[in-house]
Amino acid sequence: MTGDPRAFFALDLGAATTAAALIGHVAGRWRLLGAVTFPAGVPVPAVLEVLGSRVTAADAELAAALGAAGAADRPRLTVRSTPPAALAVVAVSERSLETLGQAADRTGWRIRTASSERLDPIALTAMLLDPEVSAVLVGAGDPPGADERSSLGDLAALVAATANRRPDLTIILAGSMAGQAPRFESTAERAGEVILAPAAGAGSPPAGPLRELLERARTWPDDSRHAFARAVGTLAETLDRRVEGIELGLDGAARVHASPGHGGGAANVQTAVLSTAALVPPDPDEAMVDRALAWSTVRLDRHRMRDRLRDLRLHPWGAIPGEGARLRLTAARTAVARLVGGTPELSALPPADLLVVGGGAWAVAPGPAIALAVADVVRRPGACQLAYDHARLLAPIGAVEDVAERRSLLADLAGDLLLPLGSVVMPQGMRAGKAAGRLVVHGATASSQLDLVPGGLELVDLPPGENAVAEFEFREPVRLGTRGRHFAVDVAGGLGGLLVDLRDVPLRLPDRPDRRREVLAAWQDALWTGGEG
């Protein structure tokens, strides 16, 4: 962004989705004037033209004052998804490979692993020469084990020979492998870097420094997931609340946990980016098909489900009317489940007060259905507010380098960019089969009450902008943040209202497919307003 603009565009250019928002300075603060979402492939100037004309149609006077019409010369804040790249992780022993693989796993790379203990030099060389591999992480124990020492030089020589044949390849030497650095030529014509990295187990938390290095080696400077993580941190500082962010796209997903710093300091942010938690990985495996079948309300055999997932990968926005949107949300559920399952260290942190979801994967689902999808797979006992980054503004704001400017922008825009989906209250430890107690929701004007039935999912109408106190009286002690029988929880409204989720934590679904589909349909149908089912 340059100069002192009165309006600017925020662009998030994803692998499948182009999101554009127009931000204007109105009455002394930044406001979201309009946002549009199109499939990637629609030319950006045409997208901005539509956005400008819609803002003008909505408020011609304001648009004229801000100069909203005419997209070409407007300043832009742009982020984009870094295209996925493959990282070959190689080690001398299977033991070292496991440690290295775990470190690399949550850094957004598509990982291929091999050890010289298992793979012969021809197969290992072929793997490293594969043009899809753009970097190699090579390591051994630090210090190397007795069984590794004899093979260390051979593996280093093999990787060095490959680097010689592929000057574009980035080589990352971790731990004791850094001692082999002299084998790697560093000539002017070599485009790929040779990087010395800490050992997989080094640092606090363990593998933290190596992960950070691997993330930096993967991403472009305007990477949207990196910017999203930074914005979630700033949001935690601005709201002074613990915030969790889940960003889900075609090629990967990010999970961010941010706690506000003490005394207005910088937030403590922990991030994981998983390529395996993409909406649909390039070649869906059996496990992914199984999970999709488990969450699907559409009757499909496993072969057709695999075909539908493959087609979803090819055309993420294709055939959405009818079953397409539900299939995409099913894929989103399985992706978030993989993301949560793949980041246990983030699940171990204190629960967030606010969970923000973002990314193109959600773009075709109604807000309440998104809330339920998240509640289905992020199973943490407690109470949490859900919000949706509907205009995909967080990542562009995260791209603002200056901390103070970013905080000020986010403080102005937080109310506009976070679409409240509702609140989820999820107690744990209820006994099945009998009424577990009573809930009274004290709203601004009226109160409502309902019986709490274990295994059920209750929706209490609580519109966006409205706050209430939910008073729970359980017959037996349950876990809801702490253990007890009587709780009063402040809840905020949203498109999905208040979701009182009395289902099991973790969620258990019926084994029989037809019964499971019935149960899922019963939960989901009410939230797809206007849908055909």
Which residues here bind other proteins, judged by CB under 8 A?
A: 36-39, 41-43, 45-47, 50, 120-122, 125-126, 129-131, 153-154, 157-158, 160-162, 164-166, 303-304, 306-308, 310-311, 314-315, 317-322, 325, 364-366, 528-532
SS3 call for 141? coil
Quick one: 159 or 492, whose CB is closer to other proteins?
159
Which residue, among 321, 369, 354, 394, has the nearest Cα to 499 in the 3D structure? 369
- Provide, rounded to whole angstroms, the least separation between the CB of residue 164 and other proteins: 5
- Provide, rounded to whole angstroms, the least separation between the CB of residue 278 and other proteins: 18
Rounded CA gap, 9 and 74, in Å?
7
Phi/psi at 138 (nearest 5 deg)?
-125, 135
Rounded CA gap, 11 and 206, in Å?
35
Quick one: 95 or 183, whose CB is closer to other proteins?
183
Quick one: 145 or 531, whose CB is closer to other proteins?
531
- Provide, rounded to whole angstroms, the least separation between the CB of residue 300 and other proteins: 10
Quick one: 36 or 519, whose CB is closer to other proteins?
36
- Provide, rounded to whole angstroms, the least separation between the CB of residue 314 and other proteins: 5
- Provide, rounded to whole angstroms, the least separation between the CB of residue 116 and other proteins: 11
Contacts 24+ apart (CB under 8 A), 23-31: 23/393, 23/413, 24/62, 24/66, 24/68, 25/66, 26/62, 26/66, 29/412, 30/409, 30/412, 30/413, 31/412, 31/413, 31/416
- Provide, rounded to whole angstroms, the least separation between the CB of residue 29 and other proteins: 27
Q: Tokens 């796993």: give the residue.
A: 105
SS3 call for 172? strand
Angle among Cα 341, 394, 209 to the nearest 5 degrees reads 55
- Provide, rounded to whole angstroms, the least separation between the CB of residue 40 and other proteins: 8
Give every CB contact of residue 90 below 8 A, 6+ residues apart in sequence: 97, 113, 114, 115, 116, 124, 127, 128, 136, 137, 138, 139, 155, 159
Evaluate whether 284 touches 118 at the Cβ level (below 8 Å).
no
Provide the token pair at 29: 């603060």
Quick one: 244 or 251, whose CB is closer to other proteins?
251
SS3 call for 171? strand
- Provide, rounded to whole angstroms, the least separation between the CB of residue 126 and other proteins: 5
Quick one: 450 or 521, whose CB is closer to other proteins?
521
Quick one: 265 or 321, whose CB is closer to other proteins?
321
Give every CB contact of residue 146 below 8 A, 6+ residues apart in sequence: none
Quick one: 30 or 528, whose CB is closer to other proteins?
528
Evaluate whether 507 touches 430 at the Cβ level (below 8 Å).
no
Rg over alpha carbons for the chain, rounded to the nearest Å, is 25
Quick one: 140 or 399, whose CB is closer to other proteins?
140
**String of DSSP letters for 111-138:** EEEEETTTS-HHHHHHHHH-TTEEEEEE
CB-count exposure of residue 479 (10 Å: 0-12, 13-18, 19+): middle
Q: Cα 330 from chain centroid?
A: 15
SS3 call for 388? strand
- Provide, rounded to whole angstroms, the least separation between the CB of residue 45 and other proteins: 8
Quick one: 38 or 523, whose CB is closer to other proteins?
38
Quick one: 320 or 355, whose CB is closer to other proteins?
320
- Provide, rounded to whole angstroms, the least separation between the CB of residue 81 and other proteins: 17
SS3 per-residue string spanning 22-37: EEEEECCEEEEEEEEE
- Provide, rounded to whole angstroms, the least separation between the CB of residue 406 and other proteins: 30
